[in-house]
C-alpha cells in the first residue's frame, strides 16, 4: 500500500515554459563563451578539461536504492520502480580552470544512475543512464540564460589568469560573506566569485537548483548527507594552508576509512508563481512543498580521487541533465541553454583527449 503525500502537486503545463525570442542567440553566446574557456585551458595545459566544474575532488562509485511504497506522485521516472542500481558520483568546484583550493567557490555534485529504464530524451535514446547535476545552493545565481551569460563572460576573462590575485580576492570575499551570513543573509554571487567558506564539501547538501519534469509534474531534487560520519562534516573547516589540492586530500582521508549515505529527496511544485520554471534564481518555499525522500545512495570506503579515476571519470564520462528519461526533461531557459553547452564541452574533450565519451550500460568498477 503506497503512502500518501501531504501536498497536492501541480501538473506541468507547457505554458509554464516561456521561451524569449532571443534565447537562441543567448544560447549561442553561452556556448561560445564556454568554448573560449575550454580553449584557453587546453592551450595552456595541453589537456582538455570541462568549461565549468573542471576540478574534481572525489570520484566515487556506489549504489542507489529506490524506495518501495512511494506515493504515486513520487513513483515517477527513474524512481518509478523499487530496486538497487549502480551510481557514479563526481564532486567538484565550479570554475573552468584548475585553481588552488583556497580560491574557494561553490561545490558541485554530478550523479549518474546506471541501468534506468524508460522512454529517453532526444540524443539519449541508446543510453540507460540518468544524470542529475547539482550545486550546494538552493537556487541558481542568475534568473535567466541572459543573466547567466553576463556572469560567465566576466569569469571567462580571468580564466587561467592572476592566480595570486584570485587567492587574495577569495580571502576578502570570504570575509564579506561571513559578515553577511552573521546578519542572517547569504550571497550566491559572492560565493560564486570565491567567497565560499573553507569547509569540507562532503557535508554539503546538493540541489539541482533548477527544475525538471517529474512524470506529469515538475520538481527539484536534493542530495542530503544522512550518515553520522558525513553530517559531522557539515560546515566543518578543512585545512587548506599550503595545500592547493586540500579538498582532494580531505576526501581521500575520509573515504580511506568511511563509507557514507545520502538521501535523494524530491520537491514537487505546487504553485506556478511561487515555484516558477523560468526564474532559476527563485528559491521554492519548503513550507509550501517539503522535500520528500525517494531513494538512498550508499558508498563504501574506497580511494576517493586517484589519477586513474580521473582518467576514467573526468576524461571518459560526461554528466549532463540531458542524459536521461523523457519523464525528467530539463525545464526552463537555464536548463535549455545547457544542452548545447554540455554537448560542446564533452565533444571538445573527446576530440582533444583521444578518449571518447561513453555512457556506461552496466556497473563498471572504477580503477584504483
Q: Which domain holds residue 84?
A: 14-353
Task: List, for residues 87-110, the tens digit of each pLDDT value.
Answer: 999 999 987 888 889 888 889 999
Task: List, for residues 113-138, the tens digit of each pLDDT value.
Answer: 999 999 999 999 999 999 999 999 99
- CB environment 46-62: b (16+ within 10 A), e (fewer): eebbbbbbbbbbbbbbb
Determine, yes or no, domain membership for 185.
yes
Torsion of CA 317, 321, 326, 330, to 10 degrees: -170
Determine, yes or no, domain membership for 6.
no
Determine, yes or no, domain membership for 276.
yes
- The residue-averaged pLDDT of 26-32 equals 94
Share of the chain above pLDDT 90, in %: 72
Number of domains in the chain: 1
Determine, yes or no, domain membership for 9.
no
C-alpha cell at 205: 547538501
Task: List, for residues 171-183, the tens digit of each pLDDT value.
Answer: 555 565 465 455 5
Task: List, for residues 258-300, the tens digit of each pLDDT value.
Answer: 999 999 999 999 999 999 999 999 999 999 999 999 999 999 9
Determine, yes or no, domain membership for 367.
no
Determine, yes or no, domain membership for 1.
no
Determine, yes or no, domain membership for 7.
no
Q: What are phi and psi of 326, to 5 degrees?
A: -60, -30
pLDDT value at residue 159: 72
Beta partners for residue 58, in sequence order: 91
Q: What is the pTM of this model?
A: 0.92
- CB environment 187-197: b (16+ within 10 A), e (fewer): ebebbbbbbbe
Query: Domain of 173: which CATH number?
Result: 2.40.180.10
In the chain the beta strands, taken as DSSP E runs, fall at: 55-66, 83-93, 107-114, 129-135, 206-207, 212-214, 217-225, 260-268, 292-299
Determine, yes or no, domain membership for 322.
yes
Amino acid at each position: 500500500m503506497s503512502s500518501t503525500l501531504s501536498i497536492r502537486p501541480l501538473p506541468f503545463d507547457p505554458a509554464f515554459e516561456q521561451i524569449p525570442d532571443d534565447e537562441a542567440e543567448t544560447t549561442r553566446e553561452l556556448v561560445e563563451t564556454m568554448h573560449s574557456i575550454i580553449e584557453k585551458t587546453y592551450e595552456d595545459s595541453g589537456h582538455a578539461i570541462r568549461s565549468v566544474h573542471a576540478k574534481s575532488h572525489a570520484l566515487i562509485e556506489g549504489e542507489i536504492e529506490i524506495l518501495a511504497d512511494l506515493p504515486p506522485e513520487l513513483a515517477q521516472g527513474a524512481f518509478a520502480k523499487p530496486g538497487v542500481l549502480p551510481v557514479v558520483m563526481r564532486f567538484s568546484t565550479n570554475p573552468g580552470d584548475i585553481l588552488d583550493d583556497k580560491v574557494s567557490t561553490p561545490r558541485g555534485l554530478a550523479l549518474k544512475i546506471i541501468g534506468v529504464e524508460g522512454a529517453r530524451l532526444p540524443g539519449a535514446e541508446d543510453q540507460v543512464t540518468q544524470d542529475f547535476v547539482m550545486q550546494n545552493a538552493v537556487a541558481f545565481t542568475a534568473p535567466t540564460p541572459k543573466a547567466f551569460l553576463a556572469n560567465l563572460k566576466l569569469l571567462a576573462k580571468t580564466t587561467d589568469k592572476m592566480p595570486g590575485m584570485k587567492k587574495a580576492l577569495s580571502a576578502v570575499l570570504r570575509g564579506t560573506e561571513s559578515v553577511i551570513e552573521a546578519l542572517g543573509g547569504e550571497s550566491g554571487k559572492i560565493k560564486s566569485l570565491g567567497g565560499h567558506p573553507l569547509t569540507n564539501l562532503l557535508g554539503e547538501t546538493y540541489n539541482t537548483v533548477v527544475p525538471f519534469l517529474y512524470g506529469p509534474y515538475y520538481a527539484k531534487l536534493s542530495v542530503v548527507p544522512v550518515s553520522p560520519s558525513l553530517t559531522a562534516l557539515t560546515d566543518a573547516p578543512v585545512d587548506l594552508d599550503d595545500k592547493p589540492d586540500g579538498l582532494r586530500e580531505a576526501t581521500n582521508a575520509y573515504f580511506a576509512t568511511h563509507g557514507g549515505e545520502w538521501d535523494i529527496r524530491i520537491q514537487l511544485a505546487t504553485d506556478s508563481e511561487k515555484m516558477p520554471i523560468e526564474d532559476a534564481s527563485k528559491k521554492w518555499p519548503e513550507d509550501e512543498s517539503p522535500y520528500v525522500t525517494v531513494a538512498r545512495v550508499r558508498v563504501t570506503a574506497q580511494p576517493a580521487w586517484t589519477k586513474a579515476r580521473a582518467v576514467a571519470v573526468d576524461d571518459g564520462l560526461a554528466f549532463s541533465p540531458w542524459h536521461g528519461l523523457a519523464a525528467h526533461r530539463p525545464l526552463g531557459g537555464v536548463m535549455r541553454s545547457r544542452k548545447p553547452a554540455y554537448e560542446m564541452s564533452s565533444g571538445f574533450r573527446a576530440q582533444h583527449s583521444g578518449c571518447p565519451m561513453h555512457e556506461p550500460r552496466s556497473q563498471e568498477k572504477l580503477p584504483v
